[in-house]
Amino acid sequence: MDNKLENIKKLDVSKPLRLDCGKTIENFPLAYETYGKLNANKDNAILVFHALTGDQFVAGTNPITKKEGWWVTAVGPGKAIDTNKYFVICANVIGGCMGSVGPKNINPETKKPYGLDFPVITIKDMVRAQESLLDHLGIKKLLCATGGSMGGMQLLQFCATFPEKTFSAVPIACSSSHSAQNIALNELARQAIMADPVWDNGKYFLKNVQPKNGLAVARMVGHISYLSEKGMQEKFGRKLQEKADYEFSFDADFQVESYLRHQGYAFVERFDANSILYITRAMDYFDLSKQFKGGLVEAFKNQKTKFFIMSFSSDWLYTTRENKDIVIALNASGADVSYSEIITDKGHDSFLLNVPEFLKNLKNFIDTMYEKFKNEKRI
């Protein structure tokens, strides 16, 4: 897989980036992908921030995994985010494993992969790294920036750190600070990886192996949290996996077990275990109100960006309550904010699925914002 990563788009970020942890990285690769064409006025650019296990391959076919891009439901020709009309950009987060600098990259000092010597990064670090991509592409102001889950968290950070960089923003199913429950679930994922003897304090790459069992369990934890209780019951119930009755063993008797095992072991083919540690840590450290004295209202002070926040009724990972707290803060700071709670049984995963109400909202908002942005630029 790593050999294939040489043929993807990469920006070499030469400008030193001082990380929140105090360390500095420089001359690091930032992998990205774009869809559609940037128009002459450069006013049709949309930046997408990806979630924990996402990557830059939003639409079409992912050239590395040969599977569909992670947001094909929303992005592509004729889709809600129409690539015939808009120029869509997505970068792999730093700390990730799809070409941007991360724990499996070579440490220039030791000439060996970083492993746990890679500095601990934050959501703010990820966002600041991606800002250099906009300069590279010659985009002064985005039409819109969007992202779900950790992508939404990056987006909130992006708006707070660079308030002039986007005309509109659609944070989806996210939070302005990671909740205790979410930190706990991330810790479960990390502990699963670290409990795998193959992990070897993050040095597994020296033996060219991957702590598959631990990483698969980490992914299974994630998958449970992305569904809702009702959705899971309806999808799987107590159905058995291609068998008439219990086998009185510990094989995957139930469909839900089989599903989790499949998701878990498919994941190890495309993701790096240490990256999960780094990215989940970044999520846990995310607390926008802590960064700004005076809290969340202060974070959004003087925002000109037009926000549209969406949450999903059955999402218990990033609840409607947490999303509404962002709306309240934006309201209190006088920002232009819209909000909608989409009623669905599909849980946190809803933003990746074909949920018509959600996709319709996304399309209508972006299309009207495009008209407004064009008018504003004309004036």
Partner 1 sequence: MKKEFKVIAELIPKNTRVLDVGCGDGSLMNLLQTEKNIEVRGLELSQENVQACIHKGLPVIQGNAETELHQFPNQSFDYVVLSQTLQAFYNPERVLRELLRIGKSVIISIPNFGYWKVRTKLLFFGTMPVTKTLPNTWYNTPNLHMCTIKDLFYFCDEKDIKIKKVVGVNEDKTSLIKRRNLEIKNLFSKLGIFLIG
**Residues noted as catalytic:** 149, 315, 348
Q: Which of 119, 132, 131 is nearest to 13 (CA)?
A: 132
Q: Where are the beta strands (DSSP E) in the chain?
A: 10-13, 17-18, 24-25, 28-35, 45-48, 75-76, 81-82, 87-91, 106-107, 112-113, 142-148, 166-172, 306-312, 336-342
Cα within 13 Å of Cα(93), Cβ side: 30
The SS3 assignment for 261 reads helix
Binding of partner 1 by 360 (CB under 8 A): yes
Among 237, 334, 376, 377, binds partner 1 (CB under 8 A): 334
Binding of partner 1 by 368 (CB under 8 A): yes
Kindly state the smallest distance separating residue 327's Cβ from partner 1, in Å.
Answer: 6
Kindly state the smallest distance separating residue 328's Cβ from partner 1, in Å.
Answer: 4
Tokens of 281: 């840590």
**With CB under 8 A as the contact rule, which of the stretches 90-98, 111-119, 270-278, 362-370 interacts with partner 1?**
362-370
Type of residue found at 150: M
Binding of partner 1 by 357 (CB under 8 A): yes
Binding of partner 1 by 120 (CB under 8 A): no
How far does CA 285 lie from the centroid of its chain?
15
Binding of partner 1 by 301 (CB under 8 A): no
Binding of partner 1 by 339 (CB under 8 A): yes
First to last CA, the chain: 49
Binding of partner 1 by 324 (CB under 8 A): yes
Among 270, 328, 353, 374, binds partner 1 (CB under 8 A): 328
Among 105, 257, 331, 353, binds partner 1 (CB under 8 A): 331
Q: How many residues line the site for partner 1 (CB under 8 A)?
A: 25
Phi, psi of 333 (to 5 degrees): -90, 5
Kindly state the smallest distance separating residue 78's Cβ from partner 1, in Å.
Answer: 18
The SS3 assignment for 301 reads coil
Binding of partner 1 by 336 (CB under 8 A): yes
Question: What is the binding site for partner 1 (CB under 8 A)?
Answer: 306, 308, 324, 327-328, 331-332, 334, 336-343, 357, 360-361, 364-365, 368-369, 371-372
